[in-house]
Amino acid sequence: MINLNKFSSYFVANWKLNGDFNFIDQFLDQLKIPKNDSKCVVICPTSVHLNYISTKKKGLYLGAQNVSQYKSGAFTGEISCQSLLDLKVDFCIVGHSERRQKYFETEIDVNQKTQQLIDAKVIPIVCIGETLEDKENKRTTNILAKQLDDGIPEISNSNNTLIAYEPVWAIGTGLTPTLDEIYQTHEFIKNYDTKFNNFKILYGGSVKASNAKKIVSLSNVDGALIGGASLKHDEFGKIIED
């Protein structure tokens, strides 16, 4: 398992269902990787492209977008933690809101996937966040509390798990919370239980070159999870630049 403490910040590119060999070749050729190796830059392509990237990447870490909660067996179409380990995958996103909403993933699924990953020595990046309706009904902290309580297993700690705060209403919409709202929410997560005090917390939701520096410079934001903007090598390059 990667030593999370050697990094000062984390930038995770979630490519979702995008990319092909051509795109990957061009992206990796053109991306300017920061000299500062305390920045952990993670690319999460489709699972089919993990192996291709693993043979080509230099100065980047590899992440998956999802994993099965089961070790092995009759689960057609699923991807095991062991197969991620075989491909030298270092990180795996868990509980992304698209998986919660479109594939009906529950907190139990998130909890089991996170446990499996930790056992396999792959770092889970557990996504939590409120919907617009939750926010409007002032239920953000209740929702986050439930996701932390039920989705994060006992064995998780600051050395083996990352948390990504991703307000669902900010994903792919161009909207973001204010800097103060991000700061307050990260503060809530860190102080919700003493066990979360030292967790690294990334922010995700419409991060782009023009807002990334301000967001990541907040004292309790340890990096960013980036969707749309991570598909453009120049935009992503600006987000991760020193």
**Distance between CA atoms of residues 123 and 126, nearest Å:** 9
Select 117 or 127, whichever has its Cβ closest to ligand PEP: 127
Minimum gap (Å) between residue 125 Cβ and ligand PEP: 10
Q: How far is the CB of 212 from ligand PEP (least distance, A)?
A: 10
Contacting residue, 45, 63, 177, 228, with ligand PEP by CB under 6 A: 228
Is residue 19 near ligand PEP by the rule CB under 6 A?
A: no
CA distance 188 to 105: 24
Q: Which of 96, 105, 130, 186 is catalytic?
A: 96
Task: State the helix-helix crossing angle for 179-192 and 140-151, rounded to 10 degrees.
Answer: 40
Active site residue 78: no
Answer yes or no: are the C-beta atoms of 8 and 221 closer than 8 Å. Answer: no
Closer CB to ligand PEP, residue 95 or residue 153? 95
Among positions 26-65, residues that touch ligand PEP (CB under 6 A) are: none
Return the number of the residue (76 or 104) whose C-beta is nearest ligand PEP.
Answer: 104
> Rule CB under 6 A: is residue 226 a binding residue for ligand PEP?
yes
Q: Cα(52)–Cα(55) distance, rounded to whole angstroms?
A: 6
Among 8, 133, 172, 193, binds ligand PEP (CB under 6 A): 172
- Tell me which of 163, 168, 171, 239 binds ligand PEP, using CB under 6 A: 171
Smallest distance from ligand PEP to CB 126, Å: 12
Q: State how far the Cα of 185 lies from the Cα of 9, in Å rounded to an integer.
A: 18
For 77, residues 6+ apart whose C-beta sits below 8 A from its C-beta are none
Taking the complex as a whole, how short is the minimal distance between the CB of residue 210 and ligand PEP, in angstroms? Answer: 13
Q: b/e per residue, 165-192, with b = 16+ CB within 10 A?
A: bbbbbbbeeeebbeeeebbebbebbbeb
Q: What does the block give as tokens for 194?
A: 């003493």
Q: Shortest CA distance to 79 belongs to which of 60, 95, 65, 98?
A: 65
Binding to ligand PEP (CB under 6 A) within 63-82 occurs at none
Q: Is 207 in the site for ligand PEP (CB under 6 A)?
A: yes
Active-site hit among 98, 105, 130, 166: 166
Sequence-ordered alpha helix ranges (H) in 12-119:
21-30, 50-56, 81-86, 97-102, 107-119
Q: Which of 45, 129, 205, 223 binds ligand PEP (CB under 6 A)?
A: 205
User: Do residues 148 and 110 lie in contact, with contact meaning Cβ atoms separated by under 8 Å?
Assistant: no
Q: What residues act catalytically?
A: 96, 166
Query: Which residues of this protein are in contact with ligand PEP, per CB under 6 A?
Result: 14, 96, 166, 171-172, 204-207, 225-229
